[in-house]
Structure formats: C-alpha cells, structure tokens
Amino acid sequence: MPEKLIIIGSGPAAWTSAIYSARAELKPLVFEGAYSDENRIAGTLPLGQLALTTEVENYPGFPAGDLEGYLDSALPKEKRMEMPPHGKDGVNGPELLELMRQQAVNFGARIITEDIRRVDFSKRPFRLNASDSKTYEAESVIVATGARANYLGLPSEEKYKNRGVSGCAVCDGALPRFRNKPLAVIGGGDSAIEEATYLTKFASKVYLVHRRDKLRASKIMAERAESNAKIELLWNRTVDEVQGNDREGVTGVRLKSTVGEADLELPISGFFLGIGHTPNTAFLQGALELTDKGYVVWTAAMRTYTSVPGVFAAGDVADDYYRQAITAAGTGCMAALDAERWLAEHGT
C-alpha cells in the first residue's frame, strides 16, 4: 500500500507539515535525512539550517526568558547535553527543532532517518528511493529539504561554526557576542550588503570583504554600503584563515590580497558569509520544475503546488527571498492543507 503522504526534510517547514497532516490523519511518513559524513560536509544534516544557529529570538511564541523547566520535561537529558547551552534568553535553534519534531511524533508522524536519493514523479503512486536502498511509494509528497548557506570550506571556518562563524546575519546578528564588536561579512552581492547593513545595527564596525574590485550587488544596494559610515569595504581580498580560540570563539581573520598587497589581520568577533545559498534539490534530478538557481517553482500564487500535481513544496527549498523559520513553518502548514485537499479529491 502506498503511503498517503511522504514529507522530505526536517526543518520548520517539514515538521509543521507533519504536525498538520498527522492531525488530519494522513499518517505522514517523514524522511528527516541521514546523519552521514556526506551530509555533515555538505551542511545538510537533519534539522537543517536552524540547527546551526544559537538563540532564536524572533520565532513567535518563544519569548526571551528561561524555558528551562519546559525544555527539561520535553527533551530527554542526553539530547539536551548535545545542544548548545540554553541561555536565559529564549529557545535555541536545535531545541526549537527538537520540540517541533516531538510535536509531530506526538500526533503520529512516523520518521525515517534516511535521505531520499531519487524520485520518480512521472506517475502515481510516486516512487522514492531512499539511502536505505528501499523504494517507498506515496500518493502525495511534500518537498521541504531547505537550502544551505554557502561557506568557503576552510577548516578554520568549520571549527568556529556556531561560535562566531555564521551563514545568517538575520538569525544571529543580534546575539550578545556580536554587540559593539567589529565583524566581517564575506561577499559582494546583495545578500552580503544586506547582511552588512543589518549588522551595523549591533556592531561597532563591519568589514565587507570582497574578492574583486567591483561589487556584484545592485546599484542601490552598493550605494547603501558605500554610504554607511560603519561599513568599510575591503577590495581584492580573500580569506586565508578564521582565527580564534576555544574560550572566545572567533577573534580575528587573516586576509590575503589578490593584487600583491601584504596580508591583513583584522580583530573581529563575528565572521558572516554572504556568498549565496544552494537549495537542496539535487535529488530531484529534473522531476520538478526548478528556477535557474535550482529552487522549486511554486506554480500558483499563494499555493504550494509544484509542476507535478500531488507534489507540494514548502520552506526554503522554494523560497530564496524570505528564508525565515517562521515563513518556512507557514508554508509547511500551507503544504499540508494543500496535500490534504488534493488527496480528498484525487486520493484512493
């Protein structure tokens, strides 16, 4: 018997669609991804980008404050110990995801900790090949595999992820560790400038480090960076090493010159990447219509429909614009409702 609904992914979009569809008695089967070296290196481990952040201050319903008692009762001690310390400032990313996952389980969602490697959406039931070498069939599918921030790939950058290295200024910029400190943003596109401009609210100064002598960003964004007194543009520079120590995390960065100037060492407390995102859609291999940047195309306004009827997309995998936990959760809810209505009309 095919599953009624398979959900692929394990971020806010996936868990929200699992919560809604489980409550609607669709008995969703969630492929949350595998804890493999391949996924660790690619930045696609289960629970996604939010699991790479520390405090989450902007998710409604989780105000600043000590949630310790509630978290103690909801998450087993072993799990709590693997997570970043729970500050007194609100929930952190991994805790929020674990709570969402648990909420989905409580309503009857079933979870398989494997990747989906290939899909066949050419006929129904849809067929999905997983990393456990099994093939699963489903009448409907929600793709919620998210996107990953691009990193430079330096070992020193990897070492300080979560401790001063971040791929998301909006997620992390307001944290105490970055307040009134010099920070660096890498990149020369609109994202880098948006991040740098956002960070000037908190930082004492923001270095915008670009590998060429001309920004890729739109004119208006470039002017915004150039006219902001707190932003210093550093041209023709690439990152050689993120510097730091175990106690403080990031403390500096060493930059190389692409035009023969001397190396530059900057004291900084935060190292932000603004070099683009990559949606996790490689496994789709042409099964759904994608944008030229690889994001799943939503084919109708205010719907989570894709180019294949019965397959829905939610969260960052189809959104290169808002990219927030709450918007991902919102579209996850929409996808579950869309799937439920579609199954009511077309399901067996």
Active site residues: 168, 171-172
End-to-end C-alpha distance for the chain, whole angstroms: 11
Are 184 and 253 in contact by the 8 Å Cβ rule? The answer is yes
Point out which span in 82-90, 97-105, 112-120, 210-218 binds ligand NAP (CB under 6 A): 210-218
Q: Interface with ligand NAP includes 189 (CB under 6 A)?
A: yes
Point out which span in 87-95, 118-126, 189-197, 324-332 binds ligand NAP (CB under 6 A): 189-197
Q: Which of 79, 216, 224, 303 binds ligand NAP (CB under 6 A)?
A: 216
- H or E segment to which residue 255 belongs: strand 249-257
Place of tokens 């799990």: 79
> Closest residue (Cβ) to ligand NAP?
189
If the CB atoms of residues 83 and 170 are measured against ligand NAP, the closer one turns out to be 170
Place of tokens 């409604």: 60
Residue 267 Cβ vs ligand NAP, minimum distance, rounded to whole Å:
21
**Residues ≥6 apart with Cβ < 8 Å to 324:** 58, 170
Q: Which of 55, 139, 172, 190 binds ligand NAP (CB under 6 A)?
A: 190
Q: Interface with ligand NAP includes 276 (CB under 6 A)?
A: yes
Residue 293 Cβ vs ligand NAP, minimum distance, rounded to whole Å:
7
**Residue 17-56 contact track with ligand NAP, rule CB under 6 A, x = bound:** ----------------------------------------
Chain-centre distance for alpha carbon 5: 23
Residue 207 Cβ vs ligand NAP, minimum distance, rounded to whole Å:
14
Point out which span in 66-74, 75-83, 188-196, 284-292 binds ligand NAP (CB under 6 A): 188-196
Measured CA to CA, the distance from residue 240 to residue 238 in angstroms comes to: 6
40-68 burial by CB neighbour count: b if 16+ within 10 A, else e?
A: eeebbbbbbbbbbbbbbeebeebeeeebe
Measured CA to CA, the distance from residue 139 to residue 255 in angstroms comes to: 52
Point out which span in 72-80, 90-98, 127-135, 190-198 binds ligand NAP (CB under 6 A): 190-198
Q: Is the peptide bond before 60 cis (omega within 30 degrees of 0)?
A: no
Interior CA angle at 319 toward 339 and 112, to 5°?
50
Q: Interface with ligand NAP includes 212 (CB under 6 A)?
A: yes
Q: Which of 21, 44, 53, 191 binds ligand NAP (CB under 6 A)?
A: 191
**Residue 231, token pair as written in the block:** 């932003």
* Burial class of residue 278, CB neighbours in 10 A (0-12, 13-18, 19+): middle
Radius of gyration of the chain (CA): 21
Q: Interface with ligand NAP includes 211 (CB under 6 A)?
A: yes
Residues 78-137 that bind ligand NAP (CB under 6 A): none
If the CB atoms of residues 191 and 306 are measured against ligand NAP, the closer one turns out to be 191
Size of the site for ligand NAP (CB under 6 A): 15
CB atoms within 10 A of CB 15: 32
Point out which span in 71-79, 89-97, 126-134, 183-191 binds ligand NAP (CB under 6 A): 183-191
Q: Which of 74, 83, 105, 152 binds ligand NAP (CB under 6 A)?
A: 152
Site of interaction with ligand NAP (CB under 6 A): 152, 186-192, 194, 211-212, 216, 218, 275-276
